[in-house]
Amino acid sequence: MIDSQACQSLHSLRPSSAKIGKFPTFLEQQTVLQATLSAMKPKIIVSALGQTGYKIFNLLRRQGADVVGISDRPLPGEKRDDIIIGDLRSATTLIAAGVRDAHTLVLASNDDSMNLAILTQARAINPRIRIVNRLFNRTLGSRLDRVLPDHASLSVSALAAPIFAFAALGGNKAIGQLRLFEQTWPIYEEVIDEQHPWVGRPLSTLWDNRSRMLIYYLPATGEFDLISAIVNSKQLQVGDRLIVGTQPATIRATRRSKVHKFFKVLTNLRQFSHYGQPVAIVTLALLCTILLATVTYTCINFNTSPIDALYFSVGMITGAGGQEEVAEKSPDAIKVFTAIMMIVGAGVIGICYALINDFVLGSRIRQFWDAARVPSRRHFIVCGLGEVGMRILQHLLASGYDVVAIERDPNNRFLHNARSLGIPVILEDASLCSTLKAANLQTAAALLAVTSKDMANVEIGLCARGIQPKLPVVVRNQDPQFSLSVQQVFEFETVLCPNELATPAFAAAALGGRILGNGMTDDLLWVALATLITPAHPFCGKTVTEAARDADFVPIYIESKDRLVRGWELLEFRLLTHDILYLTIPASELDRLWRVENSESMVN
């Protein structure tokens, strides 16, 4: 990684965002690749080969990386010497895996404390080792990123949530994401068939489009890199595949006045029948008791005015007293009636006070308020307020969409956070039809079932389809093999596995630098990253077109001095020292960035 001196030098060379204009730089958010490149592939260690760790290990191995795994138990079917069995936190195990000479250590355990223990042991042995840390606690992760050099924390939920949101918004299934210009761009795979609008269209006509970015090209026949195909105006044919990033659409959230919000609550007062019905019934019983006593005292003694009778009845039932002469001057039967009414009134008023106290000071009034604020149409329903669910809500909310959450646990740790963002939360079982109808499922844009239980998600999806058959349903499932069969059998819109979605990001981060984005198609892992052009860089002195053809990468844009280079100008641009090239490249080709060639020949 870049040392502190190189970072300071690089920071001084970064063009200011004010000079660039509307295109902001990402150097404040992303760490570029090594300024001084190594002549060999870096060695990577993946610790904790659980479900996620083993996927990362296998993916890196398929990309040709020099990778060693550490597991606390033998793995079925694995007999190779590139997996070390032992205590994950033991110095002996780490040394046996080669931590002294390793470039990167990936901590893939689902236990934050375990990952932290391995981190401290590894840094004690090799202070310069780069750490890619899987952490559920994002606050801890951000603090470690600031305090520790060469530390990158990643969260499965943060990586997977945008893909779930993109799936709910419609279109093709997103295979990755790219963080550019302060937005998360979904990455799709366009398969060209006979009905596709791009069939027969030259690739050059798709190149210079600010709302669409070409990532990679897989021709049906022959071998063409994307840049060569663009320069030669190659036409898209049936069977070609094109990986494309699209700028996300953002709905401008309109500021609604307090009057509008008040009328919205009034239109949803039907929700009161569910949350306030017990209070209403007991209050009605109390009023009936008072009315019965008032009428009785007025009819028995005509000298008693209705006001005096009402005053005495209220005082008698509530225990406040007043106008006792109304009962004292009455016959014995009325005195017996008064005694009975005192007993009945005490019970009714006690129950009424308890229910009102629970409704106002407890959670019911908050539940009623949440239910009254549920959007009426074109909103997104997220079932399950866990890590993934909360991230999805934040992503959709930031894009300007109306959302509502359904969570059955009243002690959920994200409940306060969701409500502080103004998200209506319905505290009910999402698998019940009544709950989904309360969330206005019939007029919703999509439903996302993302609880931590696979069967519960399937049940919620089936219940939603039973109410609204045409509603897009996105389901979370932990088993990627089971996900495909669930999607095919039940015809859900998309079934996604968070660990499967996050694995490429961990692998990409392990391969070098802090990655701008990544994606998977078949067995091809591609990564988006930034690389600083130095005199020893293999691209230095070449035009972008020449470098792209040699290394099979696709340029995104270049930061050069005080400007940003894009479009057709980008292809003819000659790379010089201090330029920063943003590109996408197959992970298997990353070794081209590590090769150091003769700097003089590169300049010439």
pLDDT of 598 reads 34
Is there a single domain that holds both residue 505 and residue 481?
A: no
Q: Are residues 288 and 358 in the same domain?
A: yes
Residue 131, SS3 per DSSP: strand
Q: Tell me: pLDDT of 538 over 80.
A: yes
CA angle 103-31-533, nearest 5°?
A: 90
The last residue of one of the domains, among 470, 496, 522, is: 496
Residue 250 lies in a domain: no
Are 325 and 389 contained in the same domain?
A: no
Find, among 252, 493, 250, 267, the residue nearest to 375 by Cα: 267
Short-list 523, 593, 521, CA closest to 551: 593
Range of the structural domain that residue 352 is part of: 269-365
Q: What is the pLDDT of residues 565-599, one digit of tens each?
A: 988 899 999 999 888 888 888 877 766 665 433 33
243 closest CA partner among 491, 567, 585: 585
Distance CA 394, CA 534 (A): 39
pLDDT value of residue 166 = 84
User: Quick one: 479 and 508 in the same domain?
Assistant: no
Query: How are beta strands 554-560 and 563-565 bridged, if at all?
Result: antiparallel
Looking at residue 63, what DSSP letter applies? T
For residues 302 and 399, membership in a common domain is answered with: no
Q: Is 144 helix (H, G, I), strand (E, B) or coil?
A: helix
β-strands 174-180, 151-154 pairing: unpaired
- 560 DSSP β-pair partners: 563
CA distance 304 to 287: 20
Q: Is residue 288 part of a domain?
A: yes
Is the pLDDT at 351 greater than 60? The verdict is: yes
193-209: per-residue pLDDT in tens?
999 999 999 998 988 88
**Position 371 in a domain:** no
Report the CATH number at residue 317: 1.10.287
Instruction: Please spell the DSSP secondary structure of 312-378, one letter per residue.
Output: HHHHHHHT----THHHHTS-HHHHHHHHHHHHHHHHHHHHHHHHHHHHHHSSHHHHHHHHHT--SSS
Q: Are residues 10 and 155 in the same domain?
A: yes
Residue 107 contacts residue 131 (beta carbons within 8 Å) = yes
Angle among Cα 377, 380, 382 to the nearest 5 degrees reads 140
Same domain? 492 vs 505:
no
- Neighbouring CB atoms inside 10 A of 188's CB total 21
User: Per the domain annotation, does 392 fall within a domain?
Assistant: yes
Query: 461-516: per-residue pLDDT in tens?
Result: 999 999 999 899 999 998 877 877 888 888 888 888 888 888 888 887 887 655 67
Shared domain check, 519 and 465: no
pLDDT, one tens digit per residue, over 250-266 is: 554 444 445 555 555 55
Please indicate, yes or no, whether residues 12 and 129 belong to a single structural domain of this protein.
Answer: yes
pLDDT (tens digit per residue) in 224-260 = 888 888 988 899 999 998 888 888 765 544 444 455 5
Structural domain includes residue 447: yes
Of 496, 519, 550, the position where a domain reaches its end is: 496
Which structure tokens are listed for 326? 């109304």
Domain total of the chain: 3
Predicted confidence at residue 130, as pLDDT, reads 92
| Shared domain check, 509 and 442 | no
Domain assignment present for 484: yes
| Residue whose structure tokens are 């709950």 | 435
Last residue of a domain, one of 496, 522, 538: 496
Reduced to 3 DSSP states, what percent helix, strand and coil does the chain have, rounded to the nearest 5? 45, 20, 35
Q: Which residues pair with residue 218 across a beta bridge?
A: 241
Residue 151 in 3-state DSSP?
strand
C-alpha pair distances (Å), 176 with each of 478, 525, 528: 18, 10, 11
Is 508 within the bounds of a domain? yes
| 518: three-class secondary structure by DSSP | strand
CA distance 234 to 205: 10
Q: By mean pLDDT, which of 141-155, 209-223, 539-553 is the weakest?
A: 209-223
Report the chain's terminal Cα–Cα distance, integer Å: 27
Output the six-digit token pair for 501: 């979605």
Residue 446: which CATH number?
3.40.50.720
pLDDT in tens, 381-439: 999 999 899 999 998 988 888 899 999 998 998 988 998 888 888 888 999 998 998 88
Q: Are residues 384 and 307 in the same domain?
A: no
- AA identity, residue 86: G
How far apart are alpha carbons 326 and 301 in whole angstroms?
8
Asked if residue 383 is part of any domain, the answer here is yes
Q: Are 544 and 555 in contact (CB under 8 A)?
A: yes
* pLDDT top residue among 95 and 315: 95
Same domain, 472 and 526: no
Q: Answer for the pair 420, 397: CB distance below 8 angstroms, yes or no.
A: no
C-alpha to C-alpha distance for 560 and 230, rounded to whole angstroms: 23
